[in-house]
Amino acid sequence: MLQKLTSKVTETAEKKRLFSNILSLGVLQAANYLLPLLTVPYLVRVLGPEYFGLLAFSTATVAYFMLITDYGFNLSATRQISIHRNEQEKVNEIFSAVMIIKFCFMLLSFILLALLVFTVDKFHQHWQLYFITFGMVIGQMLFPVWLFQGMEKMKYITYLNIAAKVFFTVCVFIFVKHQNDYLLVPLLTSLGFIVAGLCSFYFVRKELAVRFILPELRSIHFQLTDGWHIFFSSIAISMYTVSTTFILGLFTNNTVVGYFSAADKIVQAAKGIYQPVSQAIYPLIGKKLHEDKKSGLDFIYKATWIVGGGMLVISALLFVFAEAIVNLLLGAEYQHSILILRVMAFLPFIIALSNIFGIQTMLNLGYKKAFSRILILAAVLGFSLCIFLVRYYDGLGIAVTLLLVEVFVTLTMFFFLKVKLRNNNE
């Protein structure tokens, strides 16, 4: 039975490559979420809700700068590399232009962080923490994930990231022994990001034969223009995802942030199960739609049913066993996290569908403006609900906000596509 299934998914070169990419990204995602999950039960107990919440707040702050540095290249540049993967000079041009822009945005982000840390008391109290956590931005800037995705060579990402995550996990258990060691957590994380980023250039040059060239200004301008809608959409998404933890920290305290962030870690791990599939099929769908629209849409239809069904089961299990999961992973001190986890349990299912409708379909079909507008509306809705509900319900209000906004995004994208595709077929 297993042999028959394996032979079916590898019967063509395309299926074999897709299977290999999903497998590689699956292993990577397991490292990204399962290895940190090994440290979460340890860290929440050693650091306590207050310091665990402080680390979550600093990560949420730095996540804004990661968004700026990414600028949507993980989607726009991935698609370009996928289309031109057999044109070496074009790949060199795209790689060079994107890396120059990311470096400039990283420098801008550092300046903005310095201004924030030295002018606002809440941030100045723990200024070392924010600068150390910024190392994640440097590492992410260095690591051209979009290049490996576009070339469909994800195994190299897997090697480097697993090595970085194993390093972080082992070091946490060795060096973080007391609450006063909290700065070591972002330091080890940042070191893992930076080392993986530096090592990635070996594979870029040796395995992909990509080299840095001095691109023309028109090439840099094109990359900025092409990634603008995705960048703007990412900022909009952050208004009801990353911003929730940030706003919660501004209006409450680190302990409340700790309860919410602990539950959110579990939800993120469940969401991460779909991530390898999302990363692997995005360049493939872009290529299919570019060559034959009907073939691409058929592939998306099948993926929706398979992914949707799988993620629904995972979300249902998360809802039913929320109390047992919290007690096992977080301990008795985090009982406030149980209800928060139950409210957010179906987010992995809902977000997987919105990813297929939005990123996989709308962006690949060229509906960038509509995609951005939906997310802007979601950002306004999410920010408004967040500000209102956090005052009365703390972390639970944030959980409800996330659920309502993600349902809104998914349904709006679904009906938009339904109308558009029906009109195109008439």
| Residue 48 CA: distances (Å) to CA of 51, 108, 259 | 6, 34, 10
* Residue closest to 141 by CA, chosen among 109, 168, 117, 164: 109
| pLDDT lower than 50: segments of the chain | 1-2, 5-6, 9
pLDDT value for 20: 63
Cβ atoms of 307 and 274 within 8 Å: the answer is yes
Decide: helix, strand or coil at residue 50: helix
**pLDDT score for 17:** 63
Distance CA 195, CA 332 (A): 36
What would the two tokens of residue 42 be?
Answer: 């340890």
Q: What is the DSSP string of 8-23?
A: HHTSSHHHHHHHHHHH
**pLDDT for position 5:** 41
Q: What is the pLDDT of residues 117-153, one digit of tens each?
A: 999 888 899 999 999 999 999 998 998 888 887 887 7
- Whether the CB-CB separation of 105 and 112 falls below 8 Å is answered with no
Nearest CA to 301 out of 350, 359, 356, 365 is that of 356
**Based on C-alpha coordinates, what's the Rg of the chain?**
21
Tell whether the torsion through CA atoms of 119, 125, 129 and 132 is positive or negative. positive
DSSP string over 301-350 = HHHHHHHHHHHHHHHHHHHHTHHHHHHHHT-GGGTTHHHHHHHHTTHHHH
> Is residue 122 packed enough to be buried (19+ CB in 10 Å), middle (13-18) or exposed (0-12)?
exposed
- The region that residue 210 occupies, defined by phi over 0 for left and psi between -120 and 50 for alpha, beta otherwise, is beta
- Provide CB contacts within 8 A for 83, sequence distance 6+: 286, 287, 290
Per-residue pLDDT at 227: 77
Q: Look at residue 2 in the predicted model and tell me its pLDDT.
A: 39
Give the Cα separation of 287 and 418 in Å (integer).
22
- Farthest CA pair distance, the chain: 66
CA-to-CA distance for 72 and 238, rounded, in angstroms?
Answer: 13
**Residue 35: what pLDDT?**
66
Structure tokens at 205: 């040059």
What pLDDT is stored for residue 299 in this prediction?
Answer: 84
The residue with tokens 């594979």 is: 203
- Of the candidates 399, 335, 250, which has an alpha carbon nearest to the alpha carbon of residue 44? 335
